[in-house]
Structure 1
C-alpha cells in the first residue's frame, strides 16, 4: 500500500478506546480495518477485548500490499473471527460494517499514475483537485458504515480546511462528526503530518462536535455542513464582516508565483546572464529570499522567460539565442523530463505566466512563514517564484494602504486562524485563503472615491465591479 506508515501502539489503543466508547462490540458485530498492514489495529482490538472480557467481533482486515499478508495471516491464524484479505479497499465492494478503524495512507495526487487518477475520479466525489488517498478512504469508509455504525480514522488535519477537501467536508456533514482530536505533530516522529483522530457516527448530525486541541483544551462546536472550512469555527473567527470587502474584490489577481518545472535552466544569478539573453531576463525572488528584517526587495537572481510581456509563449523560430541556450544538450534534456512537455512546447514553463498581471506594481508574500508579512514591488519588474504569492490591486494607488492593512495585527490574526499548518509552527498561505481575507472598506480611499463618482454618473470605471478569478 502506497503511503503506509506504522501507527504507534499508544495511538492504536487510544483509537480503539474511542471506537468502542459508548458502544461495546458484540460477537455478531462486523469490524473493518482497511489498509491493515500487518495488523496493528487488530492487535489493539484484541487487547481491548481481552482487557474488558469481551468476545471479539467479526474482523476483516484488508491490505493491498501482498508483502504484509503472510505476517498478518500468521499472526491471527488462531482467531477464527479474523479474516485477512489481499484486496484494494478503494476499488472493491466490501459490504456494511458496524465499526471501521484505520490509518489511511497519505499519498498525494502527484504520487499516483494517470491510470490511478482517472480511475479514482470516476469512483469518488472526493477525488477532485489535488486530492490525497486518505480522503478517498474516508469516502469509501462512510459508504461501508452501517446505520449507527462508528468510524475512527487518523489522518492529516488538512481535510479540516483545505479547498481540495471541500467535498469530503460536505459528505461528513451528512453524518454526526462526534469528535476531532488534534494530536501532537511529533506523533509519527520525524514525519510531520499534524495528525488528527476523527470519530464519525452514522446517525443524523444533531449535536455539537467535540474538539480536543493540542494544548489540551476542549470545545463543543457546531461545524459547518455545506463543505466550507472548519477553521473559522474552530478558532472562533467570523468570515463575514459588515463594512468589509474580500481581498479578491479589490484585486485583479491573487495568485502563486511562476513554476518553471526546471529552475536550474531558467533561474540564474543575474551576473551570469549572457548579454544576449538580457532581453528575456527579469529579476526574480523566492520565498527564502524574503526576510521580515528587510522591508526592501532585493534579489541577485534573474529568471529567463520565453514569453512576451502579454504572457504569450514566443514562437520557437523567434527565440534566437534563447533557443540556442535552451537547446543546449544539458538544458534540453532537463526540459524534456518535465511532465508538462506532453501538452506544451518543450521550452514552455510548467505553468503559463500571466505576465500582463505579474509585471505590474504588486504586493508579495512568502508561501510558508512563521508570521505573515507583505512587501511592495513598486517597480513591477519582479517575477515571483512558485514559493511566493503576489497580489495585484485594481488601483495602483491602493498599494500602500492595502499593504499596510495586510501587515496589521487584524489581518495577521485572520490569516493565522484560516491558513493551513506547516511544520515547526509555520503556516502555509494559499491563494484561495488570501482571496477571502476581509479588507475594511475604509482602507481604500481611491477605490471608494471612484465608486462614489461612478454612482454619481461620472464616467469612471468602478474598480470594484469586475472580479478576475484565478
Structure 2
C-alpha cells in the first residue's frame, strides 16, 4: 500500500487520543500469550507496539529483550530494530522514552547508547499511517486506542479509510489498528491485543471479521468481562485476542461470566502452554479448545452459545414465526415532541407516548406524556388547519430548525424524523427497552405509542403473553447475549438486529398446557417458571 499524506498531529489532534492504560498483570499475561519471552531470541525479530502510551507494554518488553540478549549472547546495542512503538501524543512519547531510559541505565548501558535505542524504539507518529511502511513483523502487542470515529478529523479519517478497508461506517479507530496490525505480520507471526469486544459481534466489525476468516487465524479469544484490566474503569468490556498470519488451528476460548483475575490468568496461561491435548488443564481454567473458528462476516458467538447454535438449526426466526420487531419513531427533538405541555393543542394531534424508563420495572408506569403528532393519513398536516399545534411548534421553531431533517426539508420544518403512525398506539404489542441486562418484555394492550428507545413486538397470530413468557426466558436472552454488545455495566444493547436473530418455537408446536404455563409465568414475572416452560417449549433435551 502507498503511504497517504495527512496533516501532522499538531495540526489535527484526535480528541482525547483514547488512552486507557493496561494493568501490569494483564500485560504480563499478554506478553506470555504472544510468546514474547526471553527463551526466544527476541532481538532477531521486530515487535510493534501500535499505541505505546506511557509504556505499560514497552517497559516489560524491554526487560524481556535484555534478558533474551543475555541468554542468547546478543549485544543489546544490536537491537535498534527489535522494538517499534508509536504514539500520537508527544507527552506519551516523552514519558515512555524516559521510563525506557531509566531501565536501560539501571542495566548499565551508557547514556549515548540508551539515547540511541529509546529514540529509535519509540516514535512520535500515527501507526495507522506508518504501518504501510512496515513488514515482516514478528509480534504486534498492545492496547489499541479506543477513539470514536466522530473524534477524528475529516482529513485524517479519509486517510485511514483509504488505507484500511475495515474502517467503514461507524467503525471506531481500533478496528483499523487491528487490520493494520495483522497486515504487517510475517508468516506465522502473531498479534496479541486487548480492546473492546464490540467489533466481534456488531455491524461495524463485519468487514474485519471477514478479513480475519479469509486470511488469518484466531489462536485465542479471552473475555475480560468484569475484570479490572485497566487502571481506570471503562464503559465497554474488553477481550484479549491472539491472531496469527497463518492457517486456522484450534482456538483457546475463555468466556466465563466471572471476572478473570491474576491467579485465574495464571491458570489460563498454563492451559495455553499445555495446548489442546491437555483437556484437564483447559477445564481447570474454565476454558475450552474449539475446533476451528467462525467463518465470514457473521458475529462471533461465544462459548455460551451452544444451545443457541442448536436452536438455530431447528427453529424459525421471529419473523418466520410471525413476530415482527420495530422501533418507535425518532423525532429529533424529544423534549419538544414528547411532553406534558399539551394545553391548547388539538386532541387529534396528541398520542399517549411511553419510553424505556416507564417500563424498566416490568410494568407500564406511564408518566402522562403525549407525542405531538404532525402527521395524518395523508402526510404532514397543514398547520393552518391546527392553530393550537401551529402556536406550539412556532414557539419552538428555533430549536426545531436546528435539526438535520428541518434543514433538509425547510418547507416542512415541523416534521419529525420518522413518520408517526397513530394506529401503532392502538395495536397490542410487547415493549422491550433498548438497553437492559436481559430481554424484558412488557405488555401494552393497545394504549401507547412507543418511543425510539423502545422496541415493540407485534404478533397477530400469537397470544402475546405466551410470547412474552418465551422472550423473558434465559434462552431468549442468550441469543441477544451471544451476538450483542455488552457494556461494563453488565447491560446489553438489545437492538433490532439482535432481536431478529432470536429463534423461537412456532406457535402451533407449543402444547396448550405449556402455553398456559408461559402465560402464567409472564403475568407473574416469574423467571424460574418462564425458564422451565421455555426450555420445554424449545425442547432443549434434544438440542
Above 0.5 in TM-score?
A: yes
In the TM superposition, what is the alpha-carbon distance from 1:444 to its structure 2 partner? 7.7
Q: Which residue of 2 aligns with 1:69?
A: 93
2:142/2:194 contact within 8 Å kept: yes
2:52/2:93 contact within 8 Å kept: no
Task: From the superposition, tell whether residues 266 and 118 of structure 1 become closer, same or farther in structure 2 (CA, over 3 Å).
Answer: farther
In the TM superposition, what is the alpha-carbon distance from 1:186 to its structure 2 partner? 3.4
Residues 326-365 of structure 1 correspond to what in structure 2 (within 5 A)? 326-328=393-395, 331-345=396-410, 346-349=413-416, 351-353=417-419, 355=421, 358-359=424-425, 360-365=427-432
Normalising by the residue count of structure 2, what TM-score does the alignment of the two structures yield?
Answer: 0.71
Pick the aligned partner of 1:425 from 463, 473, 490.
Answer: 490
1:60/1:84 contact within 8 Å kept: yes
Q: Larger Cα Rg: Structure 1 or Structure 2?
A: 2
Pick the aligned partner of 1:87 from 110, 121, 125.
Answer: 125
1:254/1:435 contact within 8 Å kept: yes
| Cα displacement string for residues 77-122 of structure 1 (whole angstroms, at most 9, x for unaligned residues) | 6153443322222234231111111211212334445555555444
Q: Which residue of 1 aligns with 2:193?
A: 153
1:277/1:304 contact within 8 Å kept: no
1:266/1:304 contact within 8 Å kept: yes
User: Aligned residues, how many?
Assistant: 436
Q: Secondary structure at the match of 2:147?
A: coil
Pick the aligned partner of 2:450 from 370, 384, 391.
Answer: 384
**Structure 2: how far apart are the matches of 1:243 and 1:438?**
9
From the two aligned structures, give the one with the greater strand fraction. Answer: 1
2:86/2:126 contact within 8 Å kept: yes
| 1:308 aligns to 2:376 (yes or no) | yes
* Structure 2: runs of 5 or more not aligned: 1-13, 102-113, 259-284, 511-543
1:30/1:58 contact within 8 Å kept: yes
Pick the aligned partner of 1:177 from 209, 218, 222.
Answer: 218
Q: Secondary structure at the match of 2:220?
A: strand
Residues 26-425 of structure 1 correspond to what in structure 2 (within 5 A)? 26-51=42-67, 53=70, 55=76, 58-76=82-100, 78=114, 80-81=116-117, 82-92=120-130, 93-96=132-135, 97-113=137-153, 115=155, 117-173=157-213, 174-183=215-224, 184-188=226-230, 189-211=232-254, 213-215=256-258, 217-221=286-290, 222-239=292-309, 240-241=311-312, 244-251=315-322, 253-269=324-340, 272-294=341-363, 296=364, 298-309=366-377, 312-314=379-381, 320-328=387-395, 331-345=396-410, 346-349=413-416, 351-353=417-419, 355=421, 358-359=424-425, 360-379=427-446, 381-393=447-459, 395=460, 398-425=463-490
**Structure 2: how far apart are the matches of 1:357 and 1:194?**
40
| Cα displacement string for residues 401-443 of structure 1 (whole angstroms, at most 9, x for unaligned residues) | 4334323454244444443313333222111111111121235
**Structure 1: how far apart are the matches of 2:87 and 2:421?**
48
| Cα displacement string for residues 7-48 of structure 1 (whole angstroms, at most 9, x for unaligned residues) | 223322222222225882432311211122233321120133
Bigger mean CA offset, 420-429 vs 407-416: 407-416
Q: Secondary structure at the match of 2:127?
A: coil
2:345/2:392 contact within 8 Å kept: no
**Structure 2: how far apart are the matches of 1:120 and 1:324?**
48
Q: Which residue of 2 aligns with 1:450?
A: none
2:251/2:293 contact within 8 Å kept: yes
In the TM superposition, what is the alpha-carbon distance from 1:388 to its structure 2 partner? 1.2
Task: From the superposition, tell whether residues 372 and 11 of structure 1 become closer, same or farther in structure 2 (CA, over 3 Å).
Answer: same
| Cα displacement string for residues 120-145 of structure 1 (whole angstroms, at most 9, x for unaligned residues) | 44433322342111111111111111
**Structure 2: how far apart are the matches of 1:277 and 1:47?**
74
Q: Secondary structure at the match of 1:425?
A: coil
**Structure 1: how far apart are the matches of 2:54 and 2:203?**
33
**Structure 2: how far apart are the matches of 1:124 and 1:356?**
45
Q: Secondary structure at the match of 2:308?
A: coil
Q: Which residue of 1 aligns with 2:500?
A: 435
**Structure 2: how far apart are the matches of 1:409 and 1:71?**
48
Q: Secondary structure at the match of 2:195?
A: strand
1:151/1:200 contact within 8 Å kept: yes
1:37/1:72 contact within 8 Å kept: yes
From the two aligned structures, give the one with the greater helix fraction. Answer: 2
Bigger mean CA offset, 46-55 vs 279-288: 46-55
Q: Could you say what the CA RMSD is over the residues aligned between the two structures, in angstroms?
A: 3.1
In the TM superposition, what is the alpha-carbon distance from 1:377 to its structure 2 partner? 2.4
1:402/1:443 contact within 8 Å kept: no
1:402/1:444 contact within 8 Å kept: no
